[in-house]
């Protein structure tokens, strides 16, 4: 069986390199290194080595995933997409996901509330657009409806502010053309026809 011939700390001070039969075997985080009680001259079966490597891989990815999840609220879909981008072994994905759940780092409702709040403060949008964005993020219909039901969105003001901000684009057009352009612009932004008609008529250039 392979024998641990040396153990060397990595430069980051958080992991160690384990050498088997004088050749690099694998890297391991300090927590698992201490838990497993690995030491020089210890023999490891191929099965034991495989288990240790899996623990090491899990911890390494877990640390990165937790950093990703702590930057801001994350949806379940975002976590799954992150693991897919990083090509995380499928055998580790469920345990990683459940670990974040236990740490309360994944919550679609919290994510939806955060997303809507950010939009309201920095990039106000109508509920239709917010609904589409949240659907893309993988949020369920029920959660979206609950969150938006408890959110006041002054769509008329948002539409009016957008038109005023962009009036310069249409100031040289005749009324008919300006109406068309403004209507199309607000429709692309997700506003309903009642809001569009009211705001466009109130802001048509004379």
* Residue (of 109, 119, 110) closest to 141 by Cα position: 109
Query: In this structure, are residues 184 and 160 in contact, taking their beta carbons and an 8 Å threshold?
Result: no
In the structure encoding, which two tokens stand for residue 94, read together?
């469920």
* Residue (of 75, 57, 159) closest to 114 by Cα position: 75
> Which pLDDT tens digit goes with each residue over 139-166?
999 999 999 988 888 889 899 999 999 9
Strands, sheet with 15-20, edge to edge from the N-terminal-most edge strand: 4-9, 15-20, 23-29
Is the pTM higher than 0.85?
no
| pLDDT(110) > 80 | yes
Fill in the DSSP letter of residue 20.
E
Sign of the Cα torsion 14, 18, 23, 24 reads negative
> Which pLDDT tens digit goes with each residue over 45-94?
888 988 888 888 898 899 999 999 999 999 999 999 999 999 998 889 99
């Amino acid at each position: 069986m392979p024998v641990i011939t040396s153990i060397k700390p990595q430069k980051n001070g958080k992991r160690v390199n384990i050498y088997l039969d004088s050749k690099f075997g694998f890297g391991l985080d300090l927590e698992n290194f201490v838990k497993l009680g690995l030491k020089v001259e210890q023999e490891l079966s191929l099965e034991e080595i495989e288990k240790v490597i899996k623990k090491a891989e899990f911890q390494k990815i877990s640390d990165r995933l937790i950093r990703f999840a702590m930057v801001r609220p994350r949806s379940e879909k975002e976590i799954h997409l992150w693991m897919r981008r990083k090509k995380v072994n499928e055998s580790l994905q469920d345990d990683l996901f459940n670990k974040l759940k236990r740490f309360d780092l994944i919550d679609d409702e919290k994510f939806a509330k955060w997303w809507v709040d950010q939009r309201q403060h920095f990039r106000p949008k109508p509920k239709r657009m917010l609904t589409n964005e949240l659907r893309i993020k993988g949020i369920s219909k029920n959660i979206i409806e609950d969150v938006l039901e408890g959110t006041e969105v002054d769509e008329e003001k948002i539409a009016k502010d957008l038109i005023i901000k962009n009036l310069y684009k249409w100031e040289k057009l005749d009324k008919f053309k300006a109406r068309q352009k403004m209507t199309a612009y607000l429709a692309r932004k997700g506003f309903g026809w009642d809001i569009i008609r009211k705001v466009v008529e109130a802001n048509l250039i004379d």
